[in-house]
Amino acid sequence: MTRSTILIRPLMAVVIVVTVVTVALSGCLGGGDTTPPPGTHTVDIISSGYGGFAFDPSSLTIHLGENVTWTNNAGVDHTVVSDNSADPFNSGILAIGHSFTHEFNTIGVFPYHCSLHPTMTGTVTVIA
């Protein structure tokens, strides 16, 4: 092993650690306009049909520990409310353009609905 190799290896390790920490922190900080971290799934709330609204996609399969972000892209307020007491998330009122993110840490099937529009339903299935 040459002298330069001995010096470069620890330096590379520091560079890699700094890069990983920077990426991890950038995923945690900031508002809703930043790029979602890996493992984040998105559901759009959209206008659909004759004056109706829908979750798009309405069903989603994700892995344990991943996030789902719902964004209200329809013209009125909506909510995202869990129907499974094993993971009782509730977005509260989501104004137009606002988002709600939930991390799923329980394996199972999690139906949800909009409390303002009972025909709006969706399902998140969480697998290992």
Q: Which residues of this protein are in contact with Cu ion, per CB under 5 A?
A: 53, 78, 114, 116-117, 120
The token pair at 87 is: 């993971």
- In the complex, minimum distance from the CB of residue 116 to Cu ion, in angstroms, rounded to a whole number: 5
List the alpha helices (DSSP H) in 29-123.
none
- In the complex, minimum distance from the CB of residue 24 to Cu ion, in angstroms, rounded to a whole number: 34
Could you give the C-alpha distances from 27 to 41, 59, 61, 71, 110, in angstroms and in order?
14, 25, 22, 18, 25
- In the complex, minimum distance from the CB of residue 48 to Cu ion, in angstroms, rounded to a whole number: 11
Nearer to Cu ion, 16 or 76 (CB): 76
Nearer to Cu ion, 46 or 116 (CB): 116
Q: Is residue 59 a contact partner of residue 91, using CB atoms and an 8 Å limit?
A: no
Residue 106 CA, chain-centre distance (Å), reads 15
**SS3 state at 98:** coil
The token pair at 56 is: 């798009």
- In the complex, minimum distance from the CB of residue 93 to Cu ion, in angstroms, rounded to a whole number: 10
Nearer to Cu ion, 64 or 116 (CB): 116
Nearer to Cu ion, 72 or 110 (CB): 72
List the alpha helices (DSSP H) in the chain.
3-28
